[in-house]
């Protein structure tokens, strides 16, 4: 891990433990976020992107468990911390905002109280000082007449305003990392753009790192520095944002990008990715996308694809870019020698 990494996730495995069995949802993912950088985690619902963010926050549901791997925040492994240590980090050094601004704020408390709560909690300010800070924060996120707003209840604000309140709340203790789980999904398109603009502005002003969870590539192009594409609990592609849009490698990423409507081209029909995500118990042994991949061969079904790196940290997990692909495609079989060749392959032309 480089010293500039704010967060580094290494070989993370997460799943749900019920009485007898352990259902693994996230299967060995790796990524890192540098200081001041924005990482977008993209994928369909159920691919484990929200679970990843909850693992970082230590807010997994009761049955959820990190079974393997490390989450290094400022070099400290968060998975080893107890509840008390974790609560000192949450809302203070790592903050989170959620998808539903309508239901993420407590309906029976005034918003000023809700913002100052975490300020009092982490910064040991008096209530009065915290309230002043809350007003400043509301000003920062662009809420007009904040001194009046702090006396209002959440139901008196619009959805966009509430999401701004959530952001103000999350930023009130100057976190080093902000995790945003689909923060604009529930909002109108115009409001979405405003919120993204606000986040971009605040990122530069406050010099924090952001992890943005989204399924919307439009959002990614607005805000991301780096992108992690997830499919069924695994990373399929990891790259900086320009490379990803200019030169997507994984068939899944390509499918995602193709399915964005383009204004300048005439399209009769949007291409879609056929099929649906397999459930955990019918997951193919090999590449998890193989059941929907147009290029899939027998080998893809049976053998986990290696990670192939290219320039500028571009990574893709796919047999198609291994040096032995031609043989793989023809034979549908993989032997030990090919595995070695494959693992040593380099991504060309990215």
Give how many residues touch other proteins by CB under 8 A: 31
CB 74 within 8 A of CB 32: no
Question: In sequence order, what are the residues at sequence separation of 6 or more whose Cβ sits closer than 8 angstroms to the Cβ of residue 22?
Answer: 15, 16, 65, 67
104 lies in the binding site for other proteins (CB under 8 A):
yes
Residue the block writes with tokens 């959805």 = 159
285 lies in the binding site for other proteins (CB under 8 A):
no
Only one of the segments 11-19, 29-37, 89-97, 205-213 lies at the binding site for other proteins (rule: CB under 8 A); that segment is 89-97
98 lies in the binding site for other proteins (CB under 8 A):
yes
118 lies in the binding site for other proteins (CB under 8 A):
yes
89 lies in the binding site for other proteins (CB under 8 A):
yes
Q: Footprint of other proteins on residues 4-23 (CB under 8 A)?
A: none
Q: Which is nearer to other proteins, 74 or 329 (CB)?
A: 74
Only one of the segments 41-49, 102-110, 203-211, 237-245 lies at the binding site for other proteins (rule: CB under 8 A); that segment is 102-110
Binding mask 46-75 for other proteins (x = CB under 8 A): -----------x-x----------------
156 lies in the binding site for other proteins (CB under 8 A):
yes
Choose, by CB under 8 A, the member of 117, 131, 237, 303 that binds other proteins. Answer: 117
Q: Which is nearer to other proteins, 156 or 205 (CB)?
A: 156
309 lies in the binding site for other proteins (CB under 8 A):
no
Cβ neighbours, 10 Å, residue 127: 12
96 lies in the binding site for other proteins (CB under 8 A):
yes
> Nearest approach, Cβ of 87 to other proteins (angstroms)?
5
108 lies in the binding site for other proteins (CB under 8 A):
yes
> How is the beta sheet containing 76-77 ordered, strand by strand?
22-34, 5-17, 64-73, 76-77
Residue the block writes with tokens 């992107």 = 49
The residue ranges that bind other proteins (CB under 8 A) are 57, 59, 83-84, 87-92, 95-96, 98, 100, 103-109, 117-118, 121-122, 153, 155-156, 166, 169-170
């Amino acid at each position: 891990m480089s010293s500039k990494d704010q967060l580094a996730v290494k070989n993370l495995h997460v799943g749900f433990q019920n009485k007898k069995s352990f259902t693994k949802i996230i299967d060995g993912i790796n990524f890192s976020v540098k200081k001041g950088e924005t990482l977008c985690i993209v994928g369909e619902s159920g691919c484990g992107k929200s679970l990843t963010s909850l693992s970082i926050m230590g807010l997994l549901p009761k049955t959820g468990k990190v079974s393997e791997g490390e989450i290094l925040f400022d070099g400290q492994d968060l998975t080893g911390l107890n509840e008390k240590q974790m609560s000192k980090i949450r809302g203070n050094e790592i903050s989170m905002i959620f998808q539903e601004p309508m239901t993420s704020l407590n309906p029976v408390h005034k918003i000023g109280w809700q913002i100052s709560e975490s300020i009092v909690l982490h910064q040991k300010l008096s209530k009065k000082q915290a309230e002043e800070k809350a007003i400043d924060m509301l000003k920062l996120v662009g809420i007009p007449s904040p001194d009046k707003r702090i006396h209002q209840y959440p139901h008196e604000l619009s959805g966009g305003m509430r999401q701004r309140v959530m952001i103000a709340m999350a930023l009130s203790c100057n976190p080093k990392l902000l995790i945003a789980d689909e923060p604009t999904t529930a909002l109108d398109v115009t409001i979405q753009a405003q919120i993204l603009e606000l986040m971009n502005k605040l990122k530069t002003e406050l010099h924090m790192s952001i992890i943005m969870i989204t399924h919307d590539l439009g959002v990614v192009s607005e805000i991301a520095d780096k992108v992690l594409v997830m499919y069924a609990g695994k990373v399929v592609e990891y790259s900086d944002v320009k490379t990803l849009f200019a030169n997507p490698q994984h068939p899944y990423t390509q499918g995602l990008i193709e399915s964005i409507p383009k204004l300048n081209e005439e399209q009769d029909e949007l291409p879609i990715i056929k099929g649906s995500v397999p459930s955990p118990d019918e997951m193919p042994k090999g590449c998890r996308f193989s059941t929907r991949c147009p290029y899939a061969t027998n080998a893809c079904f049976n053998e986990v694809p290696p990670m192939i790196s290219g320039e500028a940290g571009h990574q893709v997990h796919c047999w198609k870019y291994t040096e032995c692909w031609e043989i793989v495609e023809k034979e549908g079989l993989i032997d030990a020698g090919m595995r070695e060749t494959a693992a040593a392959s380099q991504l060309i032309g990215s």
